[in-house]
Structure 1
Amino acid sequence: MNKLRFDFFNRDVLEVANDLIGKSLVYNNKKYIITELEIYKGEEDTACHAKNGKTERNKVLYEEAGTIYVYLCYGIHNLFNIVTGEKGEPQAILIRGLDNIYGPGKITKKLGIDRSFNNKSIINNSLIYVEDNYFLFKYTKNKRIGINYASINDKNRLWNYKIDERELVNGKNR
Protein backbone atom coordinates (compact mmCIF):
# COMPACT_ATOMS: atom_id res chain seq x y z
CA MET A 1 0.00 0.00 0.00
CA ASN A 2 1.25 3.48 -0.89
CA LYS A 3 -0.89 5.47 1.51
CA LEU A 4 -0.02 9.17 1.62
CA ARG A 5 1.24 10.30 5.01
CA PHE A 6 1.18 13.48 7.07
CA ASP A 7 4.25 14.98 5.37
CA PHE A 8 2.51 14.87 1.99
CA PHE A 9 -0.38 17.04 3.22
CA ASN A 10 1.67 19.21 5.60
CA ARG A 11 2.79 21.58 2.83
CA ASP A 12 1.36 24.65 1.17
CA VAL A 13 -1.96 23.88 -0.54
CA LEU A 14 -0.58 24.87 -3.97
CA GLU A 15 2.20 22.29 -3.68
CA VAL A 16 -0.15 19.59 -2.42
CA ALA A 17 -2.67 20.24 -5.21
CA ASN A 18 -0.01 19.79 -7.90
CA ASP A 19 0.87 16.41 -6.43
CA LEU A 20 -2.67 15.30 -5.43
CA ILE A 21 -4.34 15.54 -8.85
CA GLY A 22 -4.36 12.04 -10.35
CA LYS A 23 -3.78 10.22 -7.06
CA SER A 24 -6.23 7.58 -5.85
CA LEU A 25 -8.86 8.24 -3.23
CA VAL A 26 -9.55 4.90 -1.60
CA TYR A 27 -12.95 4.57 0.03
CA ASN A 28 -14.30 1.33 1.42
CA ASN A 29 -11.55 -0.59 -0.46
CA LYS A 30 -12.51 0.91 -3.84
CA LYS A 31 -10.06 3.19 -5.66
CA TYR A 32 -11.07 6.36 -7.49
CA ILE A 33 -8.68 8.61 -9.44
CA ILE A 34 -8.92 12.26 -8.31
CA THR A 35 -9.73 13.94 -11.63
CA GLU A 36 -10.68 17.42 -10.43
CA LEU A 37 -9.91 19.53 -7.37
CA GLU A 38 -10.02 23.12 -6.17
CA ILE A 39 -7.72 25.09 -3.92
CA TYR A 40 -8.83 27.32 -1.03
CA LYS A 41 -6.00 29.19 0.65
CA GLY A 42 -6.34 31.03 3.92
CA GLU A 43 -8.05 34.06 5.34
CA GLU A 44 -6.74 36.25 2.49
CA ASP A 45 -8.66 34.14 -0.11
CA THR A 46 -12.16 35.66 -0.31
CA ALA A 47 -13.49 32.37 -1.73
CA CYS A 48 -12.25 30.40 1.32
CA HIS A 49 -14.52 29.73 4.30
CA ALA A 50 -11.75 31.20 6.49
CA LYS A 51 -12.04 34.65 4.89
CA ASN A 52 -13.68 36.06 8.04
CA GLY A 53 -11.47 34.19 10.49
CA LYS A 54 -12.10 31.12 12.59
CA THR A 55 -15.73 30.22 13.27
CA GLU A 56 -17.63 27.22 14.59
CA ARG A 57 -18.40 26.15 11.00
CA ASN A 58 -14.87 26.43 9.59
CA LYS A 59 -12.71 25.57 12.62
CA VAL A 60 -11.68 22.27 10.99
CA LEU A 61 -9.77 24.29 8.36
CA TYR A 62 -7.39 25.32 11.15
CA GLU A 63 -6.63 21.71 12.17
CA GLU A 64 -3.67 19.52 11.22
CA ALA A 65 -2.90 18.63 7.64
CA GLY A 66 -4.79 15.55 6.52
CA THR A 67 -7.95 16.42 8.43
CA ILE A 68 -11.19 15.91 6.51
CA TYR A 69 -13.45 18.96 6.21
CA VAL A 70 -17.03 18.15 5.17
CA TYR A 71 -19.58 20.95 5.12
CA LEU A 72 -23.13 21.35 3.94
CA CYS A 73 -23.57 23.50 0.83
CA TYR A 74 -26.92 25.12 -0.03
CA GLY A 75 -28.48 23.02 2.74
CA ILE A 76 -28.36 20.01 0.40
CA HIS A 77 -24.88 18.79 -0.57
CA ASN A 78 -22.05 17.60 1.63
CA LEU A 79 -18.72 18.71 0.16
CA PHE A 80 -15.50 16.81 0.88
CA ASN A 81 -12.21 18.66 1.46
CA ILE A 82 -8.76 17.75 2.77
CA VAL A 83 -6.95 20.25 5.00
CA THR A 84 -3.33 21.01 4.07
CA GLY A 85 -0.45 23.03 5.47
CA GLU A 86 0.57 23.93 8.99
CA LYS A 87 -1.95 23.73 11.82
CA GLY A 88 -3.56 27.15 12.32
CA GLU A 89 -3.12 28.17 8.66
CA PRO A 90 -6.51 27.46 7.06
CA GLN A 91 -6.24 25.90 3.62
CA ALA A 92 -7.91 22.96 1.96
CA ILE A 93 -8.50 21.11 -1.27
CA LEU A 94 -12.06 20.46 -2.41
CA ILE A 95 -12.43 17.18 -4.28
CA ARG A 96 -14.62 18.00 -7.33
CA GLY A 97 -14.13 14.92 -9.54
CA LEU A 98 -13.40 11.21 -9.15
CA ASP A 99 -13.19 8.94 -12.20
CA ASN A 100 -16.59 9.41 -13.86
CA ILE A 101 -18.21 11.22 -10.95
CA TYR A 102 -18.21 14.97 -11.54
CA GLY A 103 -19.44 17.47 -9.00
CA PRO A 104 -18.51 17.56 -5.32
CA GLY A 105 -22.10 16.93 -4.18
CA LYS A 106 -22.44 13.94 -6.49
CA ILE A 107 -19.22 12.46 -5.11
CA THR A 108 -20.36 12.54 -1.49
CA LYS A 109 -23.81 11.25 -2.40
CA LYS A 110 -22.45 8.36 -4.48
CA LEU A 111 -19.86 7.37 -1.86
CA GLY A 112 -22.06 8.03 1.17
CA ILE A 113 -19.75 10.67 2.66
CA ASP A 114 -21.60 12.86 5.15
CA ARG A 115 -20.69 15.25 7.96
CA SER A 116 -19.82 12.35 10.26
CA PHE A 117 -16.49 12.33 8.35
CA ASN A 118 -15.84 15.96 9.33
CA ASN A 119 -12.75 16.46 11.52
CA LYS A 120 -11.53 12.89 10.99
CA SER A 121 -8.05 12.10 9.70
CA ILE A 122 -7.58 10.91 6.14
CA ILE A 123 -4.11 9.72 7.18
CA ASN A 124 -4.97 7.49 10.15
CA ASN A 125 -8.06 6.04 8.57
CA SER A 126 -8.68 2.57 7.16
CA LEU A 127 -12.02 3.46 5.52
CA ILE A 128 -10.95 6.51 3.50
CA TYR A 129 -7.44 7.59 2.52
CA VAL A 130 -5.34 8.76 -0.43
CA GLU A 131 -2.88 6.47 -2.14
CA ASP A 132 -0.06 7.17 -4.57
CA ASN A 133 -0.66 5.24 -7.78
CA TYR A 134 2.68 6.42 -9.25
CA PHE A 135 1.08 7.91 -12.36
CA LEU A 136 1.35 11.51 -13.55
CA PHE A 137 -1.59 12.81 -15.55
CA LYS A 138 -1.80 15.87 -17.75
CA TYR A 139 -4.19 18.44 -16.33
CA THR A 140 -5.37 21.97 -16.94
CA LYS A 141 -5.60 24.85 -14.48
CA ASN A 142 -8.88 26.77 -14.63
CA LYS A 143 -10.86 29.33 -12.65
CA ARG A 144 -12.70 28.00 -9.62
CA ILE A 145 -16.40 27.24 -9.92
CA GLY A 146 -19.32 28.84 -8.06
CA ILE A 147 -17.49 31.62 -6.20
CA ASN A 148 -19.37 34.70 -7.43
CA TYR A 149 -19.09 36.23 -3.94
CA ALA A 150 -15.26 36.34 -4.11
CA SER A 151 -13.12 39.31 -5.13
CA ILE A 152 -12.23 39.70 -8.82
CA ASN A 153 -8.64 38.72 -8.06
CA ASP A 154 -9.72 35.52 -6.31
CA LYS A 155 -12.29 34.69 -9.01
CA ASN A 156 -9.52 34.85 -11.60
CA ARG A 157 -7.10 32.52 -9.82
CA LEU A 158 -6.45 29.33 -11.76
CA TRP A 159 -7.04 27.12 -8.73
CA ASN A 160 -9.25 24.47 -10.29
CA TYR A 161 -7.19 21.54 -11.59
CA LYS A 162 -8.81 19.06 -13.94
CA ILE A 163 -7.59 16.02 -15.81
CA ASP A 164 -9.15 16.40 -19.24
CA GLU A 165 -7.86 13.19 -20.70
CA ARG A 166 -6.58 10.05 -19.07
CA GLU A 167 -3.19 10.51 -20.69
CA LEU A 168 -0.10 9.76 -18.69
CA VAL A 169 2.74 12.26 -18.88
CA ASN A 170 5.20 10.77 -21.40
CA GLY A 171 3.00 7.66 -21.45
CA LYS A 172 4.89 6.29 -18.45
CA ASN A 173 4.55 6.03 -14.75
CA ARG A 174 7.06 7.72 -12.45
Structure 2
Amino acid sequence: MQIRKKIYWSLCVLLLAACRQSPPPSRPNPVLQLREMGQLATTEYELSKVVRARDEATWYKIGERRMLVSCRARIKAGIDLSQIRDIDIQAQGDKISIKLPAPQILTFSIPPENIRVVYSDVGLFRTPFSQAETNAIMQQAEKQIRRQADSLNMLQKAQEGAAVFVRNFFEQAGYKEVTITYRYQENAS
Protein backbone atom coordinates (compact mmCIF):
# COMPACT_ATOMS: atom_id res chain seq x y z
CA MET A 1 0.00 0.00 0.00
CA GLN A 2 2.81 2.38 0.87
CA ILE A 3 4.51 1.74 -2.47
CA ARG A 4 1.31 2.70 -4.28
CA LYS A 5 1.13 5.99 -2.36
CA LYS A 6 4.73 6.81 -3.24
CA ILE A 7 4.09 6.07 -6.93
CA TYR A 8 0.87 8.12 -6.83
CA TRP A 9 2.59 11.13 -5.25
CA SER A 10 5.56 10.84 -7.59
CA LEU A 11 3.23 10.89 -10.60
CA CYS A 12 1.37 13.89 -9.19
CA VAL A 13 4.60 15.81 -8.71
CA LEU A 14 5.73 14.92 -12.25
CA LEU A 15 2.38 16.03 -13.72
CA LEU A 16 2.46 19.31 -11.82
CA ALA A 17 6.03 19.95 -12.92
CA ALA A 18 5.12 19.20 -16.54
CA CYS A 19 2.08 21.50 -16.42
CA ARG A 20 3.98 24.39 -14.90
CA GLN A 21 4.80 26.88 -17.63
CA SER A 22 8.39 27.86 -17.80
CA PRO A 23 9.41 31.09 -19.45
CA PRO A 24 10.44 30.62 -23.08
CA PRO A 25 14.20 30.32 -23.52
CA SER A 26 15.80 33.58 -24.50
CA ARG A 27 16.70 33.67 -28.15
CA PRO A 28 20.21 34.71 -29.03
CA ASN A 29 20.58 37.94 -30.94
CA PRO A 30 20.56 36.96 -34.65
CA VAL A 31 22.85 39.85 -35.56
CA LEU A 32 25.51 38.61 -33.15
CA GLN A 33 25.07 35.08 -34.50
CA LEU A 34 25.54 36.37 -38.04
CA ARG A 35 28.72 38.26 -37.08
CA GLU A 36 30.17 35.22 -35.33
CA MET A 37 29.93 33.17 -38.53
CA GLY A 38 32.93 35.06 -39.90
CA GLN A 39 33.65 34.55 -43.56
CA LEU A 40 30.74 33.44 -45.70
CA ALA A 41 31.97 31.90 -48.95
CA THR A 42 29.09 31.72 -51.40
CA THR A 43 30.94 31.19 -54.68
CA GLU A 44 33.73 28.76 -55.45
CA TYR A 45 35.52 28.14 -58.71
CA GLU A 46 38.29 25.86 -59.81
CA LEU A 47 40.08 27.45 -62.76
CA SER A 48 42.87 26.05 -64.91
CA LYS A 49 45.42 27.83 -67.01
CA VAL A 50 48.22 26.69 -69.29
CA VAL A 51 51.08 29.16 -69.67
CA ARG A 52 53.59 28.99 -72.47
CA ALA A 53 57.13 30.31 -72.13
CA ARG A 54 59.51 30.67 -75.06
CA ASP A 55 63.05 31.93 -75.17
CA GLU A 56 64.29 31.87 -78.72
CA ALA A 57 64.88 35.52 -79.51
CA THR A 58 68.32 35.76 -77.94
CA TRP A 59 70.55 36.23 -80.98
CA TYR A 60 73.82 35.32 -79.29
CA LYS A 61 72.60 31.92 -78.04
CA ILE A 62 72.13 28.89 -80.22
CA GLY A 63 68.92 26.92 -79.80
CA GLU A 64 65.70 27.64 -78.04
CA ARG A 65 63.91 26.91 -74.78
CA ARG A 66 60.20 26.25 -74.46
CA MET A 67 58.00 25.26 -71.56
CA LEU A 68 54.30 24.68 -70.92
CA VAL A 69 53.10 24.93 -67.33
CA SER A 70 49.61 23.86 -66.23
CA CYS A 71 48.07 25.36 -63.07
CA ARG A 72 44.74 24.75 -61.37
CA ALA A 73 43.56 27.22 -58.73
CA ARG A 74 40.72 27.15 -56.21
CA ILE A 75 39.07 30.49 -55.59
CA LYS A 76 36.38 31.28 -53.01
CA ALA A 77 34.50 34.56 -52.91
CA GLY A 78 32.00 35.89 -50.41
CA ILE A 79 31.67 38.39 -47.61
CA ASP A 80 33.25 38.72 -44.19
CA LEU A 81 30.31 38.85 -41.80
CA SER A 82 32.55 39.78 -38.87
CA GLN A 83 32.91 43.24 -40.48
CA ILE A 84 29.23 44.06 -39.91
CA ARG A 85 29.03 47.14 -37.70
CA ASP A 86 26.22 48.11 -35.33
CA ILE A 87 25.35 51.08 -37.57
CA ASP A 88 24.88 48.67 -40.49
CA ILE A 89 21.75 47.17 -38.88
CA GLN A 90 18.41 48.80 -38.26
CA ALA A 91 15.58 46.67 -36.93
CA GLN A 92 12.08 47.77 -36.10
CA GLY A 93 9.45 45.21 -35.22
CA ASP A 94 9.44 42.51 -37.87
CA LYS A 95 11.48 44.61 -40.35
CA ILE A 96 15.24 44.67 -40.60
CA SER A 97 17.62 46.54 -42.85
CA ILE A 98 21.22 45.40 -43.05
CA LYS A 99 24.19 46.84 -44.90
CA LEU A 100 26.71 44.09 -45.67
CA PRO A 101 30.43 44.50 -46.38
CA ALA A 102 31.41 44.41 -50.04
CA PRO A 103 32.08 40.94 -51.49
CA GLN A 104 35.71 39.93 -51.84
CA ILE A 105 37.98 37.07 -52.81
CA LEU A 106 38.32 35.14 -49.55
CA THR A 107 40.81 32.48 -50.64
CA PHE A 108 42.97 31.95 -53.69
CA SER A 109 45.10 28.84 -53.65
CA ILE A 110 47.17 26.91 -56.11
CA PRO A 111 48.19 23.75 -54.29
CA PRO A 112 51.64 22.46 -55.33
CA GLU A 113 50.12 19.22 -56.65
CA ASN A 114 48.08 21.34 -59.11
CA ILE A 115 51.16 22.81 -60.79
CA ARG A 116 52.77 20.72 -63.49
CA VAL A 117 55.34 21.26 -66.19
CA VAL A 118 53.50 19.70 -69.10
CA TYR A 119 56.18 20.20 -71.70
CA SER A 120 59.77 21.34 -71.68
CA ASP A 121 62.14 21.55 -74.62
CA VAL A 122 65.64 22.91 -74.16
CA GLY A 123 68.07 23.13 -77.06
CA LEU A 124 71.39 21.32 -76.88
CA PHE A 125 73.42 24.48 -76.23
CA ARG A 126 70.96 26.08 -73.79
CA THR A 127 70.54 25.80 -70.03
CA PRO A 128 67.24 24.62 -68.56
CA PHE A 129 64.81 27.14 -67.09
CA SER A 130 66.02 28.26 -63.67
CA GLN A 131 63.84 28.15 -60.58
CA ALA A 132 63.50 31.95 -60.73
CA GLU A 133 62.30 31.76 -64.34
CA THR A 134 59.87 28.97 -63.48
CA ASN A 135 58.55 31.03 -60.54
CA ALA A 136 58.04 34.00 -62.86
CA ILE A 137 56.01 31.75 -65.17
CA MET A 138 53.91 30.61 -62.18
CA GLN A 139 53.29 34.24 -61.20
CA GLN A 140 52.16 34.96 -64.75
CA ALA A 141 49.76 32.01 -64.52
CA GLU A 142 48.35 33.33 -61.23
CA LYS A 143 47.75 36.78 -62.75
CA GLN A 144 45.99 35.23 -65.74
CA ILE A 145 43.78 33.09 -63.48
CA ARG A 146 42.84 36.17 -61.41
CA ARG A 147 41.89 38.04 -64.59
CA GLN A 148 39.86 35.02 -65.69
CA ALA A 149 38.06 35.03 -62.32
CA ASP A 150 37.25 38.74 -62.74
CA SER A 151 35.76 38.08 -66.17
CA LEU A 152 33.44 35.44 -64.66
CA ASN A 153 31.84 38.03 -62.33
CA MET A 154 32.70 36.03 -59.22
CA LEU A 155 32.14 38.95 -56.88
CA GLN A 156 28.69 39.66 -58.31
CA LYS A 157 27.73 35.99 -57.88
CA ALA A 158 29.15 35.99 -54.35
CA GLN A 159 27.05 39.07 -53.54
CA GLU A 160 23.88 37.40 -54.85
CA GLY A 161 24.58 34.23 -52.86
CA ALA A 162 25.26 36.21 -49.68
CA ALA A 163 21.99 38.13 -50.08
CA VAL A 164 20.03 34.88 -50.35
CA PHE A 165 21.76 33.44 -47.28
CA VAL A 166 21.30 36.55 -45.12
CA ARG A 167 17.66 37.01 -46.19
CA ASN A 168 16.86 33.37 -45.28
CA PHE A 169 18.79 33.70 -42.02
CA PHE A 170 16.73 36.68 -40.83
CA GLU A 171 13.44 35.27 -42.09
CA GLN A 172 14.10 32.15 -40.02
CA ALA A 173 14.81 34.44 -37.06
CA GLY A 174 11.26 35.83 -37.43
CA TYR A 175 11.67 38.96 -39.55
CA LYS A 176 9.01 39.44 -42.24
CA GLU A 177 10.75 42.12 -44.28
CA VAL A 178 14.51 41.99 -44.88
CA THR A 179 16.28 44.74 -46.84
CA ILE A 180 19.90 44.14 -47.87
CA THR A 181 22.36 46.68 -49.27
CA TYR A 182 26.14 46.74 -49.50
CA ARG A 183 28.56 49.28 -48.07
CA TYR A 184 30.27 50.06 -51.36
CA GLN A 185 26.90 51.13 -52.79
CA GLU A 186 26.78 54.15 -50.46
CA ASN A 187 29.81 55.64 -52.28
CA ALA A 188 28.41 54.90 -55.75
CA SER A 189 25.57 57.46 -55.57
Smaller-chain TM-score bracket: under 0.3
Structure index of larger Rg: 2
For normalisation by structure 2, the TM-score amounts to: 0.23
The structure where helix makes up a greater share of residues is 2
For normalisation by structure 1, the TM-score amounts to: 0.24
